[in-house]
Structure 1
């Protein structure tokens, strides 16, 4: 079985699925994608996300505010309250994105620190987004003691040096459809090096559909393509990738 370790079910255009999330979950189950982690990007939308997914016991949630959603300073008390929802197993996604929003660097750093502090209070792992901010991301992780809760560097696109340091802090490296892209040879080199007990697979649906679905809306069922590419890169069978990535997810979340 496969687990999509990062998707945004509440962001899907359901018109492709007869306006019914059931059909998304069914399409995933038909290719043995049995569980998924639905990731929050704003606190204000978290209650709706929780409501939309409440009937699916194979959908787990996170709570947090994406680094590109920094219209207002994060309220750690609100985050802590929302994150105590019974289906929330992680805090985030949080982190730093200097590629798209270098002008909000200070707000992002403040938010990232607050997310880590809440994660430590609640003893929940972190879901971290990092782009063009390797040094600051790692420094804040160290300064705030993120290693005490661990977590995932999701949709990883950075260097092996960063991956190695994150792994030393107890974090997992998650690969998305980007690893299937023609121009992602450097990322494939990273994917070949990550220890077998430290990698995860994800879609980041509805974004970043993998080859051969480029140009389409992404969905959890497509995590199979990520697994196929990782199997090829690492010299494994797809069954081995399925088992190892599932075991890694379960270990991270103490399941």
Structure 2
């Protein structure tokens, strides 16, 4: 399995990160994409630091990194932050830009036009380095507004690059996912897909092509059933694979294998010469 989205630099892991990664490896997690947003631009390098710290360490997953400025901190995306992002995306361990996008859920977030401008600027930087992007999208309550705006920006500004990316922790409508797939994106499902009231997410799991899906934890957030309410960790991505398998009528092992193939195909990270890219 691959956990395609985890915040390994979270201070909630400061005391037991070694043990957490060991449990992930024992659970069958082959690799983790450590999301490099930190607490804002000043700390978005921490995911890369962790990837390098554990490189070559036995009995832990392979760790890749991303870098980006989350829409909740996008008002901090000044020239220094852009320069830092540009520098980080030059590093080979940093395989994606993100998570970036739009978040209309919290009224205290930056105005929408500021978020859109920051999203555009980061897409420009990612395109210059030919790195896929990881999308965060959260609409205001009872609306699809952020999804509609995100897909409009992606169609105008990202689709022409052909670089694709990931819709992280998908909660939109099926037509949003299908539109993004047409742009070269994969759709990633997190622990909330296991929740009893998350049938619309499972409906998307059922409707979309399996070859365009990923699984993730968003750890330390969104712990899946039966661990809901606890600190999430990458080992529990197995519960998302189990849910995906149930929805698709396949084994959890096949769900894990197929989503692992999809990850390697997007990021061209496969080490198996027989794995198609």
Q: CA deviation at 1:179?
A: 0.4
Question: What is the match of residue 221 of structure 1?
Answer: 235
Question: What is the match of residue 135 of structure 2?
Answer: 128
- Asked if the contact 2:48–2:64 (Cα under 8 Å) also holds between the matched residues in 1, the reply is no
- Asked if the contact 1:73–1:107 (Cα under 8 Å) also holds between the matched residues in 2, the reply is no
Residue 153 of structure 2 is aligned to residue 140 of structure 1: yes
- Equivalent position to 1:208, from 213, 218, 222: 222
Q: CA deviation at 1:231?
A: 0.5
CA distance in structure 1 between the partners assigned to 2:12 and 2:110 by the alignment: 30
Instruction: Count residues in correspondence.
Output: 251
Question: What is the match of residue 101 of structure 2?
Answer: 95
| SS state at 1:93 partner | strand
- Asked if the contact 1:120–1:148 (Cα under 8 Å) also holds between the matched residues in 2, the reply is no
- Asked if the contact 2:147–2:172 (Cα under 8 Å) also holds between the matched residues in 1, the reply is yes
TM-superposition CA deviations, 1:94-127 (whole Å, max 9, x none): 0011122465211110111111111110000000
| SS state at 1:100 partner | coil
- Equivalent position to 1:37, from 16, 19, 33: 33
CA distance in structure 1 between the partners assigned to 2:137 and 2:192 by the alignment: 14
Residue 147 of structure 2 is aligned to residue 151 of structure 1: no
- Normalising by structure 2, we get a TM-score of 0.87
Q: CA deviation at 1:242?
A: 1.1
Question: What is the match of residue 183 of structure 1?
Answer: 197
CA distance in structure 2 between the partners assigned to 1:223 and 1:175 by the alignment: 10
The runs of 5 or more residues in structure 2 that have no matched partner are: 56-61, 140-145, 270-277
Question: What's the Cα RMSD here?
Answer: 1.5
Q: Greater CA deviation, 50-59 or 214-223?
A: 50-59
| SS state at 1:70 partner | helix
Q: CA deviation at 1:9?
A: 0.5
CA distance in structure 2 between the partners assigned to 1:73 and 1:151 by the alignment: 21
Residue 63 of structure 2 is aligned to residue 63 of structure 1: no
The runs of 5 or more residues in structure 1 that have no matched partner are: none
TM-superposition CA deviations, 1:163-221 (whole Å, max 9, x none): 01000101000000010011111111011111011000000000000000011000000
CA distance in structure 1 between the partners assigned to 2:65 and 2:248 by the alignment: 29
Residues 113 and 71 of structure 1: CA distance in aligned 2, closer, same or farther (over 3 Å): closer
Question: What is the match of residue 8 of structure 2?
Answer: 9
Question: What is the match of residue 174 of structure 2?
Answer: 160
In the TM superposition, structure 1's runs of 4+ consecutive aligned residues that sit over 4 Å from their partners are: none
CA distance in structure 1 between the partners assigned to 2:78 and 2:66 by the alignment: 16
